[in-house]
Amino acid sequence: MIRKILIANRGEIALRIVRACRELGIQTLAVYSEADEQSLHVQLADEAICIGPASGAESYLRADRILSAAEIADVDAIHPGYGFLSENEEFAEQCASCNINFIGPKAETIGKMGDKAMARETVSKAGVPIIPGSDGPIENEKDAIKIAQKIGFPVIIKAVAGGGGRGMRIAHNAVSFAKEFQSARLEATKAFGNGALYVEKYLENPRHIEFQVLADKHGNVIHLGERDCSVQRRHQKVIEEAPSPFLDKNLRARMGKAAIKATNAADYINAGTIEFLVDSKGNFYFIEMNTRIQVEHAVTEEVTGIDLIKEQINIASGNRLSISQKEVTYDKHAIECRICAENPSNGFAPSPGTIGLYYAPGGHGVRVDSHVYGGYTVSPYYDSMIAKLVTYGRTRKIALDRMYRALSEYIIRGIDTNIEFLKAIVLDPGFRQGEATTSYVEEFLARAPKDVFKKSQ
């Protein structure tokens, strides 16, 4: 029985977890850095403990301080959210040894699936298709070139410990390969403390389509359909939607089956995401599993009506899934735009600062998940995402029209945001026709007039 949860995160996801707990009658403990004292999750949680200075390394990544807070406040469970310690095997292990329920999979599962080369091997053995590539990590450049030549260029060099679109390099021939391999190694060592790399065939213009899965401790595994996350900038998602405009019933069923196979192969428990790339012919390939809640989980919630955070808590409590596969229905279309404090006219440079006037859109079919408000200061220390705007309706067209309406209503003064950029995409015929692949944003930016994203305030 979970009575009290420590939320080991910040921003909108921390607030999202507070809200789910409130509805379940579960007490919440927020932990926060000195920069987040005024944050909504701190104000709305039942209790709050400061765990250090602004820098993530000194606060949200400090397992020791978070576990001390857990002891002091006598919590039963920790929800890690996404990012920070959410995919840290050691942290999950420490929670277990302190007798605290980590709301996520077992530590060893995080380790196994967090190593992308091992994850490929694990699901491939279970018969899930993977992109042709190296068997496991590659030690040196010479072997890597041989493998790349065997696979055929272009190839993508990826960090075994990679995440957040970092540590990936594309090589179009053997000459550029050596340079890219070196810089991928440097970046991976710096970002993840692990320079191990593997190589995969680089697919031209695929779609990124992922499946949400849920698994309980009693062996029940279901999927909640897909999210299309093809609209990406620098391999990072910008707009996500469900269902995917590309999938038909048959392909959805086949990919859903593969997602469940992958989940079983990982011996997985709790909410997770199986990510695939899909080519223009409908061939799909596993790329990785995210062993945590995703930023874009809200679109699945709006399409299926299932509260994923509550399901996570329910699973961690040892209960059975509250729905069966047959009971999962998709009767809406939902779209999410990531609202970021950044300036698209200036290379998407981060734009921290204090928000002046703030007005969030509302009305029928609109959901805003955000920790900010008028007078809130966006810190330069963290990710630039300040809100998730989700719209939904009976059809994709309704959800899209609603998104344009909601984006037009959004007022955030005092800092730069990507709202005009998002509006331009939502109006773009290519996106509206459901044609976006992972190279869409790059192509869109190349043809967009330079000052198109300027705010007209």
Q: Using alpha carbons, select from 370, 350, 382 the residue that is nearest to residue 58.
A: 382
Contact 363, 10 (CB under 8 A): no
Identity of the residue, 62 or 233, whose beta carbon is nearer to ligand ADP in the bound complex: 233
Question: What six digits make up the tokens of 394?
Answer: 């009976």
Q: Tell me if residue 292 is catalytic.
A: yes
Identity of the residue, 238 or 298, whose beta carbon is nearer to ligand ADP in the bound complex: 238
Identity of the residue, 2 or 144, whose beta carbon is nearer to ligand ADP in the bound complex: 144
CA separation for the pair 79, 64 (Å, rounded): 16
State the nearest-atom distance from the C-beta of 434 to ligand ADP, in Å: 17
CA separation for the pair 454, 7 (Å, rounded): 37
Strands (DSSP E) along 284-430, which ranges? 284-290, 333-340, 342-343, 349-350, 353-354, 358-359, 366-370, 377-378, 385-393, 411-412
Cis peptide before 132 (omega within 30 of 0): no
State the nearest-atom distance from the C-beta of 392 to ligand ADP, in Å: 23
Catalytic residue among 252, 292, 338, 367: 292
Find the DSSP H helices in 115-228.
Answer: 116-125, 141-151, 174-192
Identity of the residue, 78 or 287, whose beta carbon is nearer to ligand ADP in the bound complex: 287
Strands (DSSP E) along 216-316, which ranges? 221-233, 236-242, 270-278, 284-290
Q: Using alpha carbons, select from 295, 325, 290, 326 the residue that is nearest to residue 308.
A: 295
Cis peptide before 344 (omega within 30 of 0): no
Give the type of residue at 36: D
Contact 418, 397 (CB under 8 A): no
Question: What sign for the dihedral angle of Cα 142, 147, 149, 155?
Answer: negative
State the nearest-atom distance from the C-beta of 275 to ligand ADP, in Å: 5
State the nearest-atom distance from the C-beta of 13 to ligand ADP, in Å: 17
Identity of the residue, 132 or 374, whose beta carbon is nearer to ligand ADP in the bound complex: 132
| 56 DSSP 8-state letter | G
Identity of the residue, 12 or 288, whose beta carbon is nearer to ligand ADP in the bound complex: 288
State the nearest-atom distance from the C-beta of 280 to ligand ADP, in Å: 13
State the nearest-atom distance from the C-beta of 202 to ligand ADP, in Å: 4
Q: Using alpha carbons, select from 238, 332, 242, 237 the residue that is nearest to residue 290.
A: 237
Identity of the residue, 131 or 315, whose beta carbon is nearer to ligand ADP in the bound complex: 131
State the nearest-atom distance from the C-beta of 208 to ligand ADP, in Å: 4
Residues lying near ligand ADP in the complex (CB under 6 A): 131, 156, 162-165, 200-203, 206, 208, 232, 235, 275, 277, 287-288, 438
Q: Could you give phi then psi for residue 149, rounded to 5 degrees?
A: -65, -35
**Active site members:** 292
